[in-house]
């Protein structure tokens, strides 16, 4: 009898450990958070605000899934691209956030080169929040990874597009980001947009409450995107310097059929067009969008290959040239035609 009881107890223990009806028992390990300060040292532990690292590079190399990197206010001069390449998960992202104020990550020391980006995100589930990114040799932030977030950042004076999603970048959420005064000097401003989601992106990319102002080329550029991009409450103004095109929202290119969606977006005082179809052969949707004081506010001269464009509650005013709306269902709009 005693032997049977011992065997029963042993089997119950094995069942619990192995999973069985009771589920597996997995020990939980809390990720380590790290701190960065201009007064820190990379020989510090980095795990408290009283013993911070000096560089973001050290904190990023130390971080694991679930870590938050707290960046103290101040200016950090960086000459190498900060590469974020780890595969994290939705429950354990790596976050790089301001500890206080708006820390400045200054890449002005980089030479002007296609490879000299500020942040390059090829990994998944990263968040960058409340940072000011200045002067990168190319893009301020370049994203090819999946499920990444950029929130409440300022990107300015980079030598190509401020924030760009390309080459399969997917499920990117860009919220409350300002991208301004970006200019590519060697090509007289032809390429530097505020934001771009172009050249074979993945699915699920969203921009919300983002502002693109005073950039040399376009505010938002979706050239040959390859998948749908959605915009909510975004604004583009005063874009187009020297050889730059100067569109507020360029929503196509290379005859790609992408059914982009824009809601409550405003395009003001851009050099060329407020909202430009730019050879997109998809069916575009614009809801409650306003073009004000652009050379042409709405320029949609081509009917989509399938279906119709949808314009609802859109307003055009103070344009220097007339609007073009073709192959569309138009409801409660005011255009200059």
38-87 per-position pLDDT tens digit? 999 999 999 999 999 999 999 999 999 999 999 999 999 999 999 999 99
Average pLDDT, rounded, for the chain: 93
Q: 336 in a domain, yes or no?
A: no
Q: 182 in a domain, yes or no?
A: yes
Catalytic residue selected from 86, 250, 271, 308: 250
321 shares a domain with 264? yes
Residue 337: predicted pLDDT: 84
Task: Check: CB of residue 267 under 8 Å from CB of residue 237.
Answer: yes
125 shares a domain with 77? yes
Percentage with pLDDT > 90 across the chain: 91
pLDDT tens for residues 272-297?
999 999 999 999 999 999 999 999 99
Number of domains in the chain: 2
**Catalytic (active site) residue 305:** no
Residue 30: predicted pLDDT: 79
**Distance between CA 105 and CA 119 in Å, rounded?**
10
**Distance between CA 115 and CA 109 in Å, rounded?**
14
92 shares a domain with 220? yes
Torsion sign over Cα 184, 190, 191, 196: positive
Q: 253 in a domain, yes or no?
A: yes
275 shares a domain with 215? yes
Report whether pLDDT(11) > 80.
Answer: no
216 shares a domain with 281? yes
Residue 254: predicted pLDDT: 96
pLDDT tens for residues 72-125?
999 999 999 999 999 999 999 999 999 999 999 999 999 999 999 999 999 999
Q: 245 in a domain, yes or no?
A: yes
24 shares a domain with 105? no
Q: 135 in a domain, yes or no?
A: yes
Please report, for the domain that includes residue 246, its CATH number: 2.160.20.10
51 shares a domain with 8? no
Q: 12 in a domain, yes or no?
A: yes
Residue of 152, 155, 224, 225 lying closest to 194 (CA atoms)? 155
Report whether pLDDT(139) > 70.
Answer: yes
Q: Which residues contact 315 (CB under 8 A, 6 or more apart)?
A: 289, 290, 291, 292, 333, 334
Phi-psi sector, 198: left (phi>0), alpha (psi -120 to 50), beta:
beta
Residue 29: predicted pLDDT: 62
261 shares a domain with 304? yes
Report whether pLDDT(150) > 50.
Answer: yes
In this prediction, residue 28 has a pLDDT band, given cuts at 50, 70 and 90, of low
130 shares a domain with 202? yes
**Per-residue CA distances from 166 to 42, 197, 203, 227, 263 (Å):** 33, 6, 11, 11, 23
Task: Check: CB of residue 71 under 8 Å from CB of residue 78.
Answer: no
Q: Name the residue range of residue 12's domain.
A: 1-30
Torsion sign over Cα 79, 103, 121, 237: negative
Residue 135: predicted pLDDT: 99
298 shares a domain with 154? yes
**Distance between CA 48 and CA 69 in Å, rounded?**
10
pTM value is 0.91
Q: 337 in a domain, yes or no?
A: no
Report whether pLDDT(298) > 90.
Answer: yes
87 shares a domain with 195? yes
Q: 170 in a domain, yes or no?
A: yes
Q: What is the mean predicted confidence (pLDDT) over 182-200?
A: 98
66 shares a domain with 84? yes
């Amino acid at each position: 009898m005693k032997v049977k009881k011992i065997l029963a107890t042993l089997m119950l223990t094995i069942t619990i450990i192995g999973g069985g009806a009771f589920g597996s028992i997995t020990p939980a390990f809390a990720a380590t958070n790290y701190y960065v300060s201009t007064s820190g040292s990379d020989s510090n532990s980095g795990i408290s605000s009283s013993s911070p690292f000096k560089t973001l590079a050290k904190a990023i190399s130390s971080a694991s899934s679930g870590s938050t990197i707290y960046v103290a206010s101040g200016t950090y001069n960086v000459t190498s691209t900060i590469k974020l390449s780890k595969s994290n998960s939705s429950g354990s992202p790596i976050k790089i956030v301001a500890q206080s104020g708006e820390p400045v990550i200054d890449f002005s020391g980089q030479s002007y080169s296609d490879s000299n980006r500020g942040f390059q995100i090829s990994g998944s589930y990263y968040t960058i929040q409340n940072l000011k990114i200045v002067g990168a040799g190319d893009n301020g932030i370049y994203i090819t990874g999946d499920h990444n977030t950029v929130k409440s950042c300022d990107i300015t004076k980079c030598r190509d597009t401020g924030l760009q999603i390309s080459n399969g970048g997917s499920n990117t959420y860009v919220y409350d980001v300002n991208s301004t005064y970006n200019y590519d000097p060697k090509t007289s401003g032809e390429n530097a947009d505020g934001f771009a989601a172009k050249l074979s992106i993945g699915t699920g990319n969203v921009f919300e409450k983002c502002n693109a102002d005073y950039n040399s080329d376009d505010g938002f550029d979706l050239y040959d995107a390859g998948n749908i991009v959605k915009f909510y409450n975004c604004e583009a103004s005063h874009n187009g310097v020297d050889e730059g095109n100067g569109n507020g929202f360029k929503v196509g290119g290379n005859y790609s059929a992408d059914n982009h969606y824009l809601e409550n977006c405003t395009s003001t005082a851009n050099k060329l067009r407020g909202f430009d179809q730019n050879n997109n052969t998809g069916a575009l949707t614009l809801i409650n969008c306003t073009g004000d004081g652009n050379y042409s506010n709405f320029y949609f001269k081509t009917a989509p290959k399938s279906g119709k464009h949808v314009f609802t509650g859109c307003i055009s005013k103070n344009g220097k040239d007339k609007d073009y709306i073709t192959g569309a269902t138009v409801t409660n709009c005011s255009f200059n035609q």
